[in-house]
Structure 1
Amino acid sequence: MKITKKAVLSLLLLGFAGTSLAGCSGTSDSPNESAAESNGGANPVTIKWYVTSGTSNQPTTKQILADYKAESGVTVALQVVPGDGEAIYKKIDVDLSAGGDVDLITIQNPIVHAKYATNDWLLPLNDIYKEEGYDYEAEFGKNLTKFNGDTVYTLPDGVVSWVVFYNKKIFDDANVPYPKGEWTWDEYIETAKKLTNASKGIYGSSMPDYDSILYLLAQQRGINGYKADGSSNYDDPAFKEALQWYGDLGNTLKIQPSWLEIKSKKIPYDTFMTGKYGMQFIGSWFSFAPQDLKSYPRDWKVGVTQIPIDPQGKNSIGSSGGIAVNKASKHPKEAADFVKWFAKNNYKYSGGMTAQVNLSDEEANKIFTDMASKYPASDGITSEELKAALLTPNLGIVPEKITGTIPTEYGNIILQEGELYLVGQKSLDDTINAIKTRADEAIKKQSTVN
């Protein structure tokens, strides 16, 4: 099914319900319960999975493959692409456009998901799962990403919510209370001001240089990046306000490095671990850094709390990934079964948060207890603190990025034009107009392709 420019991406993330796994459908958790039977008793099936060289070398990856084969009898062979995520998707783009039949494709973020769905490269999983009686709706609920209303191409293998990590030593030295519970961006800024100490080279805040940061406030308010007619909605005042707000943090308030400093000094994404930043606003995936004392030795303690909110949009932001099946796969049922198994079990290997919504309270509590145990004991991070930071039941949830018909192009345009404003080379109004104009041109070009 080809997805047109009018397709609506419904990305709904994060949620726990107090029901038990026993309340799910009658399908067993064991993958492909009868792989040999489905193959007519013939030789066991081998399916291929695109991964980066880094992923292929991880001990957890090898354990995942071994455990899956032990349960299903199906071999998952890695199709390794050297390099990082950008390199792997260049390779996959070429292969899929030429009709390549590697079975499994890792979907790292909503941008990749939307692109591959729009290009009609992915296999819808709805019918396969319904045929076997698997209730994926009950298992993943509002964490499912759907296209054209209800088409599902992948199951979420975890969820990433944005949070604030903070340096307890800097807070203590400034005699500032640790942040806790619901708070606003105004409170975040006031806290960062108190923590910033230029004479000691300490900034109160740090944020990554992602395109989504430039429209963060608009996204939290749930402002769509597209108008009803499919054109760019970047002339909505919320996007202008969001860009100016972010720019002021570094250029005017100076509570964090300016965009120019980040780029000219090549400040890395993990700069918080230098101990010179009071707070780090970033996705929960960053937890690996404070947990790793070998790579990031420190004599200060880390805390974590929930995302600040905008009064006009009490929403957290987040994203999810997963594995999709190539539409040209020669083993679609086996591939779909691995997608299901991986989505259910990946958190056990990664130490992250499952996207399943039908866990019992006991199962959910164990997840957060295990997550807390991965931090150094000296940090004093508890399972309750992590649950409060990640689940944020008092907030709604919205996707972190604009996706839609031109997901990659939209982000690139925002970064390119937004940078000109942030470094003082273009006015705010001219920047917003340029983003709107270029996005409309890209949307129009895409519509002719479809």
Structure 2
Amino acid sequence: MKRNTKVLLAVLLSVFMLTVVACGSNDDTSSESGAGASTESNESNESNDAVRKVTIFEDAKRSEEENLKKMYEDFTNETGIEVEMVVIPGDGIEIFKKIDVQLVTGDQTDVIRLSNPLLIQKYMNNGWLAPLDDVMAEDGYDAESIFGEFLREGDDGKTYVLPYQAGKWAVYYNKKIFDEAGVPYPSGYWTWDEYIETAKQLTDKNNGIYGSYMLDYDAYLYMLARQYEVEGYKEDGTSNYDDPKFAEALQFFGDLGNVHEIQPSWLEFKSSKLSWDGFMSGNYGMHFIGSWYSSLFADQATYPRDWEVGITQIPVPADGNGDNNFGVDSGYGINKSAANPDEAYEFIKWMAENQYKYAGDLPARVDLTEDQIAELFQDYSDSVNGEITAEDMNNALFTSDLGFVDEKIVGPAATEYGNIILQEGELYLVGQTSLEDTVQTIKQRADKAIEDAETDS
């Protein structure tokens, strides 16, 4: 439900800062030592029973990030527990397909980082995660007072995940492209019509420049509907994808590339295999993405650039009825077959409480003081040499006077629902099916998936 600014202030004023994180894919899985991980051979480890370690799945690109290495080093220095990354080559949400297979076959990797609510729901419902309630009670750990509403429960009422971020969306922009085009930087309240017009002024395809960049995540295909707070399910539990706002949202997203030509079309994105971090190439004027993306600008070792970045708030529909931002929470869970469950518990507690200090996103903590918040804003600004100020971040993500809704469609068969939207939506985006047929098919397939999920349960 929509939360007005005052409510959001009360809930999220203790939930902020900046300094992030990404995702990953492929079929081969290897293991390598992360920062703070043991560099000794297996034989040496076996001869030293005092060595404590924890293993975690990571994608290849993320495993090389300096912020991640520093975070793991600090965890090891504070706890004495070494971190070993089980690296899956590639990047993006596709890595979880490989993780799924490994968990089914009894893999003992300790920790899984779940980057959105659909993954959290899926891994809880599939029984792949260890419940945390008993160990937290024994430890005297009051997770609710730390994480508040961001502490999710499974259908059985148990806690399986500790959240580390509660991100929101924003527009990041390349100041160099704006300057060369003679276009003023965006600031404050603005509409999607203004976003499109701005992107058109920035686009110079002869020189490989697009004014806008968006990705192939399911949320982009229905983001406009979420701004209007249109639910993914009807009151009777069936799919609500026949609501006209979902068709409007899909057409809107498709038109950005196919009609307005301000960003790569879906076909170009897929055929050119464009990346989730493609904005860092410097070829795009604006990128509409979650606030987790902030850390990339602070990591100039991984992402060297000759341009400065800015940030502004999310555009909204011109009719003023969809004045909402949206976001997503992420968390850490422990594999039910973990080889090192005690170390894994210490790890996920520490990461949930501390990761925001190394990332560029809003923490999922509701217990931070105003002084801590102010310090974190400034720390992030310092990390990007003042390109983005603390005031910029505050205005874009916190005091924008917009409401807030969940980014994802979360409910029965939610993962299948999202996949169906992507599969059928792609056919529309590349011109193979009509908008009407696409929406109808999504509705029918989603209803079947929901029915199957309820039958299985």
Q: Over residues 204-240 of structure 1, what are the superposed CA-to-partner deviations in whole Å (9 max), with x where a residue is unaligned? A: 2221122110101112222222223332221111111
> Does 2:106 correspond to 1:89?
no
Equivalent residue number for residue 39 of structure 2: none
- 8 Å contact 2:188–2:400 — kept in the other structure? no
Deviation at 1:357, TM superposition (A): 1.9
Equivalent residue number for residue 13 of structure 2: 17
Could you tell me which amino acid in structure 2 is paired with residue 205 of structure 1? Answer: S
- 8 Å contact 1:81–1:91 — kept in the other structure? no
Kindly, what percent of the aligned residue pairs are identical?
50
The one of 98, 116, 138 aligned to 1:109: 116
Cα separation, 1, equivalents of 2:325 and 2:439: 25
Stretches of structure 2 lacking an aligned partner (at least 5 in a row)? 1-6, 17-48
> Which deviates further from its counterpart, 398-407 or 122-131?
122-131
TM-score (ref. length: structure 1): 0.80
Deviation at 1:431, TM superposition (A): 0.5
Equivalent residue number for residue 409 of structure 1: 416
The one of 188, 191, 197 aligned to 2:195: 188
**CA, structure 1 residues 60+384, in 2 after alignment: closer, same or farther (shift >3 Å)?**
closer
Equivalent residue number for residue 367 of structure 2: 358
Equivalent residue number for residue 168 of structure 2: 161
**CA, structure 1 residues 13+108, in 2 after alignment: closer, same or farther (shift >3 Å)?**
farther
The one of 321, 330, 334 aligned to 1:325: 334
Q: How does 1:56-135 map to 2 (within 5 A)?
A: 64-65=71-72, 67-72=74-79, 75=81, 78=84, 80-84=86-90, 89-98=96-105, 102-135=109-142
Deviation at 1:427, TM superposition (A): 0.6
Deviation at 1:196, TM superposition (A): 3.2
Could you tell me which amino acid in structure 1 is paired with residue 224 of structure 2? Answer: L
- 8 Å contact 1:47–1:103 — kept in the other structure? no
The number of equivalent residue pairs is 414
Equivalent residue number for residue 453 of structure 2: 446
Partner-residue secondary structure (3-state), 1:205 = strand
Could you tell me which amino acid in structure 2 is paired with residue 384 of structure 1? Answer: E
Partner-residue secondary structure (3-state), 2:12 = coil
Cα separation, 2, equivalents of 1:63 and 1:270: 21
Cα separation, 2, equivalents of 1:13 and 1:107: 24
Deviation at 1:192, TM superposition (A): 2.2
Cα separation, 2, equivalents of 1:62 and 1:293: 14
> Does 2:202 correspond to 1:206?
no
> Does 2:396 correspond to 1:389?
yes
**CA, structure 1 residues 59+241, in 2 after alignment: closer, same or farther (shift >3 Å)?**
closer
Q: CA RMSD in A?
A: 3.2
Cα separation, 2, equivalents of 1:123 and 1:137: 18
Cα separation, 1, equivalents of 2:279 and 2:418: 25
Q: How does 1:184-263 map to 2 (within 5 A)?
A: 184-198=191-205, 200-263=207-270
Equivalent residue number for residue 369 of structure 1: 378
**CA, structure 1 residues 105+302, in 2 after alignment: closer, same or farther (shift >3 Å)?**
closer
Q: Over residues 345-391 of structure 1, what are the superposed CA-to-partner deviations in whole Å (9 max), with x where a residue is unaligned? A: 122233544221221121111111111122245xx321110122232
Stretches of structure 1 lacking an aligned partner (at least 5 in a row)? 1-11, 21-42
Deviation at 1:302, TM superposition (A): 1.9
Equivalent residue number for residue 273 of structure 2: 266
The one of 322, 344, 352 aligned to 1:343: 352
Equivalent residue number for residue 39 of structure 1: none
> Which deviates further from its counterpart, 226-235 or 145-154?
145-154
Partner-residue secondary structure (3-state), 1:350 = coil
Could you tell me which amino acid in structure 1 is paired with residue 409 of structure 2? Answer: I
Cα separation, 1, equivalents of 2:14 and 2:362: 16
Cα separation, 2, equivalents of 1:139 and 1:288: 23
Cα separation, 2, equivalents of 1:288 and 1:19: 17
Cα separation, 1, equivalents of 2:449 and 2:301: 45
Could you tell me which amino acid in structure 1 is paired with residue 383 of structure 2? Answer: K
Partner-residue secondary structure (3-state), 1:145 = coil
Deviation at 1:103, TM superposition (A): 3.7
Deviation at 1:268, TM superposition (A): 3.4
